[in-house]
Structure 1
């Protein structure tokens, strides 16, 4: 066959294999590979497997010019395996989250929560320790009155006299009634403290100082809701305990010795349920005041925030309670013992005949315990407030809201509260717009 027919197409119109022009499309001038030893520039295609030079790269996150491609598996921004950039930031351009106040604006660790609570109390002593001391003072006065109401009848009867059925019933009724009222007031006082202290703690995050009267003014309208929350929780706990005791009596009566074993198991189960519910509802006072919300909405809010975070919340609250209890006991116990030993308010014989002579000792010891207890409760309330804010940052991106609030805090007046009237977003979503729902 002649050479002239070498490039002739085969029958059917198809070209011969290996004949004719190159079937691959011609490369444009701006996509030609560089010559040996030359650096590839923008608009040129490097050889397969070659690394484009860093000085020719666009800014991180910007699209490359047309015609530029990066070989598969290469990484122009770092040397991590797989060709992926090193982290969300290019090298040398990472900046830490801002820290305008007591904590950085990001999810917190245990040490940052404890340190932030201490710093918030130290920077706003009147708003934190002042409110705690005031509430504990009211509870202490009621405690002294309750103690006096029990000591007076016993002093009139005398220690050596036998109590009649009527006197025993009267003392029992007084003890139960006074103890129940004192327990309710103490529960409401603790919830009131936890709710009020979220305001100075939240403002301390943006380095805003808060005064004693300013805290009460910013929490206006929340006191009655906190009291209602305390009454609701106390009523629920009382009903639960009464039903539990009724069931235990029935079990012991019908099962006998086996019922005693079931009683022990039931008590342990009751303690576990009480601990679980206490943690699930621990953030309700903070949500009620900070957002603000109604009683049942605050309970639902606390329940949602602690979802999938129960063990962490429980551990932080338990550790804080243990630390505070140890410190308060180490400081207050020796002082109380010294007052009891060295306060001379009469002879021992006189005290045996008149129990009201020990009333000054009761007042002094109650005052000392209340003062140091108030300091401990203030710190615990600050930890709970920061834990509430930390869980919001973890679930809702609340740190972004705080960054925006940092920009407008100076122009929003002296009573600005970060995050107030901001709706909660779903998990992994950002809050959108001002909150217009009812409290």
Structure 2
């Protein structure tokens, strides 16, 4: 079975909503392996508005002693008024609810159905992958979260602890400034390592989710092997986007700072946040495009811009909702352990007043454990939603579902032949 999806950039740029390779373009065949059975050819015709379709062929006669309403028929369902509904239960024999015309259910070889996705299906696909492929997903996020939290704990204990002691003892200005510089340097270093670990985890999770869409499992070693060639480019993409946001903020805020004008500074801030948010969503699909299409940094940015075009608000809403949900989950896990640690090991009210409660070993350890658990759960959900949004947009615009079906071994998916 060919389990490699067609992630490569398509040769043409179809218009929005246009899906190439429509079923009418394809020859009839023996029927898809994963698709539902289609009604026999010529059995149904399109009804006139407000009028039920008459039967074109007489239905098979029931066996002696059985009425129409009891005859099980070829497909296991009872014969309806104008024909047999088969296994789907529709009144006129076509898939859908009683008395309704609909489309056959989409094939679902993996965690999502191969058709345009709704919000619930995207969130469910991200969670389902983490649940069913936990042997591959959780070790990656657990290792990254543990390394980052251990380094963060040490930084908070020593660098931030020295700041608290310096402020309490009233040391001279030079030593205080030196402690602040050291602490800030340590925090920047931890932030850099956290970003690096997040990049590695995102790259590997992207490969795992791309396989989960096809219903195949990817091991940690396989995910690393597939993602490693693109890691430097992914790092460059992340760095470019971060520097771009910083540069944009500096350009918009600098006039107010230079002129020492609070009003001008406020105007710059008001313009900056919506603009950065717009760019963030516009390029939010660049990471999966870079990894799965094996493209360059600037091509990935262009691909994301093209895929997001016309659906910015939808992607913004799904991304925002995902971040709110994961933020609530993280808070539920982290804050109780942090409060208990500070109350039990932080020296009580005195420790809370002088700021030493947050740097006590017990408080730091419990807070770190909570953060490790939260990141292990949250990180794959965030990465999974981004990957599934990318897949969804390519299904909507480029008919990627047909390519994925072929890669999953579903023969003749999307044909009209019986």
Relative to the length of structure 2, the TM-score reads 0.69
Counterparts of 2:381 and 2:399, CA distance in 1? 25
Deviation at residue 324 of structure 1 after TM alignment: 1.3
Q: Does 1:340 align with 2:309?
A: no
- Is contact 2:141-2:379 (8 Å) kept? yes
Q: Which residue is equivalent to 2:307?
A: 305
Cα displacement string for residues 204-223 of structure 1 (whole angstroms, at most 9, x for unaligned residues): 12211222222112212122
Query: Counterparts of 1:10-409 in structure 2 under 5 Å?
Result: 59-60=41-42, 77-80=46-49, 92=94, 94-151=103-160, 153-154=162-163, 158-252=166-260, 259-343=261-345, 358-407=360-409
- Is contact 2:282–2:312 with CA below 8 Å preserved after alignment? yes
Change beyond 3 A, Cα 1:189–1:279: farther
List per-residue Cα deviations over 1:33-61 (Å, max 9, x = no partner).
Answer: xxxxxxxxxxxxxxxxxxxxxxxxx9559
Query: Structure 1 stretch 194-203 or stretch 76-85: which is displaced more?
Result: 76-85
Contact kept in structure 1, 2:338 and 2:367, CA below 8 Å: yes
Cα 1:363–1:243 change in 2 (3 A) is farther
Closer, same or farther: CA 324–76 of 1 in aligned 2, 3 Å: closer
CA–CA distance in 1 between the matches of 2:252 and 2:193? Answer: 24
**TM-aligned CA distance change 1:227 to 1:140, over 3 Å:** same
Partners of 2:53 and 2:267 in 1: CA distance: 55
Deviation (angstroms), 1:388: 0.8
1:415 is matched with none
Secondary structure (helix, strand or coil) at the match of 1:219 reads helix
Q: Residues of 2 paired with 1:190 and 1:310: CA distance?
A: 25
After superposition, the C-alpha distances for 1:255-290 in whole angstroms (9 at most, x for unaligned) are xxxx42332232122111111111112112211211
8 Å contact from structure 1 (residues 152, 355) kept in 2: no
SS of residue matched to 2:388: helix
2:84 is matched with none
Give the alignment's Cα RMSD to 1 decimal. 3.4
The runs of 4+ residues in structure 1 deviating greater than 6 Å are 81-85, 344-349, 351-357
Rg comparison, structure with higher value = 1
Conserved? CA contact 1:151–1:356, under 8 Å: no
Q: Tell me how far apart the structure 1 counterparts of residues 317 and 305 of structure 2 sit (CA, whole Å).
A: 17
Question: How far 1:83 sits from its partner (Å)?
Answer: 13
Aligned length: 327
Structure 1 residue 355 displacement after superposition: 8.7
Change (3 A) 1:357 1:396: closer
Contact residue 158 and residue 353 of structure 1 kept, 8 A: no
Give the Cα–Cα distance (whole angstroms) in 2 for the partners of residues 175 and 120 of structure 1.
39
C-alpha deviation, 1:240, in angstroms: 2.7
Indicate if the aligned counterparts of 1:103 and 1:112 stay in contact, CA closer than 8 A.
Answer: yes
Structure 1 residue 143: deviation in Å? 1.4
The alpha-carbon deviation at position 119 of structure 1 amounts to 0.7
Is the CA contact 1:159–1:353 (under 8 Å) kept in the aligned structure 2?
A: no
1-side partners of 2:168 and 2:406: how far apart?
A: 71
CA deviations over 1:387-428 (Å, ceiling 9, x no partner): 11001101111001101111189xxxxxxxxxxxxxxxxxxx
CA contact (8 A) 2:142 2:376 kept: yes
Q: Please say if residues 184 and 234 of structure 1, whose CA atoms lie closer than 8 Å, have aligned partners that are also in contact.
A: no
Once the two structures are TM-superposed, the CA of residue 185 in structure 1 deviates from its matched residue by 3.0
Distance change (3 Å), C-alpha of 1:367 and 1:77 = closer
Structure 1: unaligned runs, 5 residues or longer = 1-57, 62-74, 253-258, 410-439
Alpha-carbon contact 1:286-1:388 (below 8 Å) kept: yes
C-alpha displacement of 1:91:
6.2
Cα deviation for residue 313 of structure 1 reads 0.4
Q: Which has the higher contact order (CA 8 A, sep 6+)?
A: 2
Normalised by the size of structure 1, how large is the TM-score? 0.66
- Partner SS state of residue 360, structure 2: helix
Q: Deviations over 1:283-328 (max 9, x none)?
A: 1221121122222222222111111111000000000111111122
2:22: which partner in 1? none
- For residue 84 of structure 1, report the CA deviation from its aligned partner: 12
